[in-house]
Amino acid sequence: MDTEELIRALPKAEQHIHIVGSTRPETLLWLVEQGDLEAPYRTLEDVRRFFRYRDFLHFISIYSTVVDCITDETQFERITYEMLEDDARCNVRYVEASFSAPDHVRKGLDYGRMLDAINRGVSRARRDFGIECNLRIDLVRNYGPDAGMEVLDWIEAKSDNIVAVDIGGSEGGFPPKPYAPVYRRAREMGLHLVAHAGEAAGPESIWDAVRYLGVERIGHGVAARDDPRLMDHLRERGITVEACPVSNVKTAVVSSLRDHPVREFFDRGLRVTVNSDDPSMFGTDMDNEYLQLHRELGFTVPELFRLSLNAVDSSFLPENRRSRLREVFIEEYRRLVDGAERFK
């Protein structure tokens, strides 16, 4: 087994992946057909061209177009199942997937029926591939804190498989601080706390997510590189950075993989994980994320396995399940490394 084969075989966990952003190109065409929609793509090649972005704001506009293509709650079952099938192919064992419920409720879909469809996809994937998945709800910062409170009402009424809340969306115009009461209530409800920050705004966005929202994990966090004091604070507080390297290149948040701060974060002792974010829209998957870190940033196999353990250790699983998953990862890693040594 060569090094890249070993990297593909590593047990992995993913904690930053969007369900809608995992829609396969062929499934997007199916959605268009199902909804009898007018769309700027009719072939797989059309979709692949459509999934090219000038910058982060252009990506958001394309993502919104895909949201518009989901016209029936039951469609989420297929999208979720395929997302987990693709992750399982990369030997991902546990996933925390993000569902931007408000985007779809505003289009007339029912929250409860969508959640049921997603969880049917989760159950089928568990049965077929042995992969586990929990959910976090993206409150979508663009709609404001009052809308965020409404989403918490939905979760209180129906919380099947939901472990956390997040704020994604247009970071630059919607800072974290106004969401402090929403996050305080979410914490009281027993939910874990995450925020997209430092992707399309500077270090202050991350500081505010930490100060006012009390987050346990930061989505992306690229801008932390510009503030050594912030990096030290994240390390000292044990706040995890959910890095999404290929995503950040595709949306022009960074100029190249070699310019991505994930190496600096890792070397500085931050608890960082690696994730695919919107894999279908960025032409990536978890194997590719790990391989790119190896090829472009010199991550060794033991370092990549440390990223896997970071994802387990900072997961929102109950302590007993988290400990057991960690044991399983370590046992499998030892078998892989021992086997690779024997065949050298």
Helices (H), 70-162: 75-89, 101-105, 111-129, 145-157
Name residues whose C-beta falls within 8 Å of residue 324's C-beta, 6 or more positions apart in sequence.
none
Q: Under DSSP, is residue 65 helix (H, G, I), strand (E, B) or coil?
A: helix
Q: How far is CA 48 from CA 44, 245, 247, 253, 283, in A?
A: 6, 20, 15, 20, 9
Taking the C-alpha atoms of residue 85 and residue 90, their distance in angstroms, rounded to an integer, is 9
Catalytic residue numbers?
199
Taking the C-alpha atoms of residue 46 and residue 29, their distance in angstroms, rounded to an integer, is 10
Taking the C-alpha atoms of residue 83 and residue 17, their distance in angstroms, rounded to an integer, is 9
Name residues whose C-beta falls within 8 Å of residue 306's C-beta, 6 or more positions apart in sequence.
266
Q: Which of 324, 198, 202, 211 is nearest to 272 (CA)?
A: 198
